[in-house]
A and B are shown apart, each in its own frame.
With several copies, the nearest count.
Chain A
Amino acid sequence: MQEEQIARGLADKIEKLAAGKEIKIMHVCGTHEYTITKSGIRSLLPKNVKVVMGPGCPVCVTPQAEIDAIVELAEKGKVICTYGDLLRVPGTKSSLYDSVGDIHIVQSISQAADYAREHPDREVVFMAVGFETTAPTTAAVLLTNPPDNFSVLVSHRLIPPAMKWLMEQGEANLSGFLLPGHVCTISGSEEYGQFKVPQVIAGFEPLQVMYGLYMLVKQIVEGRAEVENAYASAVKKEGNLKAKRMLSEVFEVCDIMWRGFPVIPSSGLKLKPQYEKYDALKKYGITLKGGAETRGCLCNEILRGVKDPVDCKLFGKACTPLKPVGACMVSTEGACRIWYTYGKAVKSVFTAKNTK
């Protein structure tokens, strides 16, 4: 009940602060979306304060070409280890889930390496998705001599270059960013100073998110453009220096394509030459087939915050969580999936506010 009081207090402040303005906030973290949705935060916010989801779900931004590659490896008899999130993401023809291969869901890359160690006769490939938070775990495992039958398909991406590219498009009508707390735990807050927009780093408990939103609305309304930290217990200015050292020991920055986006400069990670022996693509001679993404899918615009899922002609028709066309419909944190599942809850916001 105390939590409820505090949340309502924050919501009231937000409403007062934002009165008369149209505010659109982008977060770039699937887990923020999850919290927002699961605790009904949108139902607490006034109509004129909108929260949209940016390119913050690693599953959503993994292009079909990379899915096709891991499916190809599965079909060639490699043991594929992956996080459960990626299981249903569709490639051109199939998802891992629908492929014929030997697919293991792991909770950690270190389970995948252990599996390879315990099964020296099998070839084990780990599908390494994730942003700054996850990439260091890949580095840590590669730095501790995994066995020869282990390799990774590196699909790591970096958040700030994507935000930069996004803002350069001009085409995104955004008032400010709620920054991803766990990404910043590794990368620190400094890097985000380059963006001259209101930004607040937030945690993931419902009240932490409410608190971050409150700080961000306040900053927007007050006309400031800084990086504020509402998650100071975990996020240091410099981030996790050891993790960053390990990252740069194993990886170097590269240009990379994002699903829904073109190639974004310096937004990806690739293995340095001395670790290339763990590169599954090189090891098994797989080339990523760039190619047309599915026609009609607006993932692109949705991730940029200029379209809503309901603007997509395929939404709920050709594209459903059961037969997703774009990745935004795949992840439980994908914008389309969330609108499909909880869409009606948006209505209940207003019902709630109108009837009370």
Chain B
Amino acid sequence: MCLAVLAQLKEIKGNVAVADFGGLTQEIRLDLLEEPRVDDWVLVHTGFAIQVVDEKEALEMKKVLDEVAAINEGMDNA
């Protein structure tokens, strides 16, 4: 538990949004978010957005890459 997928809100109508899952769009429910906005990146679990994530990049490799690169250097230096 629990499979969740990243998606971007494209259109909002009440508590439902059209979300883009990377080439695929699907309607999801927004009940669990305080103030969802179009273009927000959200985590989707069982058809509901469960959290807005800081930025798209946040969940992508980039951040991890940077952090890990830093660790690697730190360790190598250690």
- Report yes or no: A185 in contact with B50, Cβ–Cβ below 8 A: yes
Question: What are the residues of chain A within 8 A of B31 when measuring CB–CB?
Answer: 137, 140, 143-144, 246
Select one of B1, B15, B46 contacting A180, CB under 8 A. Answer: B1
- Report yes or no: B32 in contact with A243, Cβ–Cβ below 8 A: yes
A154 to chain B, nearest CB (A): 15
- Report yes or no: B68 in contact with A9, Cβ–Cβ below 8 A: yes
Interface size on B, residues (CB 8 A): 32
Report the separation of the CA atoms of residues A109 and B47 in the bound assembly, to the nearest whole angstrom.
8
- Report yes or no: A182 in contact with B50, Cβ–Cβ below 8 A: yes
Select one of A110, A183, A211 contacting B67, CB under 8 A. Answer: A211
Report the separation of the CA atoms of residues A240 and B75 in the bound assembly, to the nearest whole angstrom.
35
- Tell me if A30 counts as interface (CB < 8 A to partner B): yes
Q: Which of A4-63 contact B (CB under 8 A)?
A: 6, 9-10, 13, 16, 29-31, 56-58
B24 to chain A, nearest CB (A): 13
Interface size on A, residues (CB 8 A): 50
Question: What secondary structure prevails in chain B residues at the interface with A?
Answer: mixed
Q: Which of A90-98, A115-123, A127-135, A168-176 contacts B (4 or more CB under 8 A)?
A: A127-135
Select one of A9, A30, A208 contacting B1, CB under 8 A. Answer: A30
Question: What are the residues of chain B within 8 A of A57 when measuring CB–CB?
Answer: 1
- Report yes or no: A134 in contact with B1, Cβ–Cβ below 8 A: yes
A251 to chain B, nearest CB (A): 14
Question: What are the residues of chain B within 8 A of A56 when measuring CB–CB?
Answer: 1
Q: Which of A196-216 contact B (CB under 8 A)?
A: 203-205, 207-208, 211, 214
Contact A13/B1 with A3-B61, A182-B43, A234-B53 known, Cβ cut-off 8 Å: no
What are 17 A-B interface contacts by the 8 Å CB criterion?
Answer: A3-B61, A6-B65, A31-B3, A31-B4, A57-B1, A109-B47, A133-B45, A133-B50, A134-B45, A137-B29, A144-B31, A185-B51, A203-B59, A207-B61, A207-B64, A233-B58, A234-B53
List residues of B whose CB falls within 8 A of some A CB: 1-4, 15, 29, 31-34, 43, 45-48, 50-51, 53-55, 58-59, 61, 63-65, 67-69, 71-72, 75
List residues of A whose CB falls within 8 A of some B CB: 2-3, 6, 9-10, 13, 16, 29-31, 56-58, 83, 107-111, 130-131, 133-134, 136-137, 140, 143-144, 180, 182-183, 185-186, 203-205, 207-208, 211, 214, 232-236, 240-243, 246
